[in-house]
Amino acid sequence: MPASLHARILGAGPTGALAALALAQAGWRVSLHDPLPPEALQGRERAYAFTHSSRELLELLGLWQELLPSLAPFRQLHLRDVATERRVNFKPADLGGAEPVGWIGSHQPLMALLLRRLAQHPAVALALGTAAPADAAGEPDLLVAADGPDSPTRRALGIGQWSHRYRQSCLTVQVEMRGCADDEAWELLRPEGPFAVLPLGKGRFQLVWSAATARCQQLEALGDTAFLDRLAGALPDVLQPDALLVKPRSFPVALQLARRLHRGRTVLVGESAHRCHPVGGQGLNLCWRDVAVLHRLAERTARGSLHSRRIGAAYGRRRWPDLLLTLLATDLLVRVFSNRLPWLLPLRGMAFSALARFGWTRGLALRAMTQGACRLQPSLPAWAHGDQQLSPAPALSGHGAVPAPSARPE
CA dist 227 and 244 (Å) reads 9
How many C-beta atoms lie closer than 10 Å to residue 8's C-beta?
26
Residue 317 C-alpha from the chain's centroid: 20
Sign of CA dihedral 54, 334, 362, 72: positive
> For residue 400, what pLDDT is reported?
32
pLDDT in tens, 171-207: 999 999 999 999 999 999 999 999 999 999 999 999 9
Which of 130, 138, 133, 77 minimizes the C-alpha distance to 103? 77
Q: What is the DSSP letter of 240?
A: E
* Helix and strand numbers, DSSP H then E, in the chain: 13, 17
Sign of CA dihedral 152, 308, 59, 279: positive
Which of 164, 91, 84 minimizes the C-alpha distance to 332? 164
pLDDT in tens, 57-94: 999 999 999 999 999 999 999 999 999 999 999 999 99
Order of strands, edge to edge, in the sheet holding 142-145?
124-128, 29-34, 6-10, 142-145, 266-268, 262-263
Mean model confidence pLDDT for the chain: 88
For residues 18, 75, 347 and 391, what is the CA-based torsion angle, rounded to 10 degrees? 90
Share of the chain above pLDDT 90, in %: 81
For the cut 70, the answer to whether the pLDDT of residue 257 exceeds it is: yes
Residue 111: which residues within 8 A CB-CB, separation 6 or more? 14, 17, 41, 42, 44
Residue 266 C-alpha from the chain's centroid: 22
Contact call for residues 370 and 101 (beta carbons, < 8 A)? yes
3-state secondary structure of 125: strand
For the cut 80, the answer to whether the pLDDT of residue 22 exceeds it is: yes
pLDDT band at 319 (very low <50, low <70, confident <90, very high): very high
pLDDT band at 130 (very low <50, low <70, confident <90, very high): confident
> For residue 382, what pLDDT is reported?
35
Domains and CATH numbers, the chain: 6-72+105-163+255-334 (3.50.50.60), 166-254 (3.30.9.10), 348-407 (no CATH)
Strands 240-258 and 204-212: unpaired
In 11-63, which ranges are continuous DSSP H helix?
14-25, 38-42, 52-60
Contact call for residues 104 and 76 (beta carbons, < 8 A)? no
CA dist 354 and 165 (Å) reads 32
> For residue 398, what pLDDT is reported?
32
CA dist 371 and 357 (Å) reads 23
CA dist 283 and 15 (Å) reads 11
For the cut 60, the answer to whether the pLDDT of residue 390 exceeds it is: no
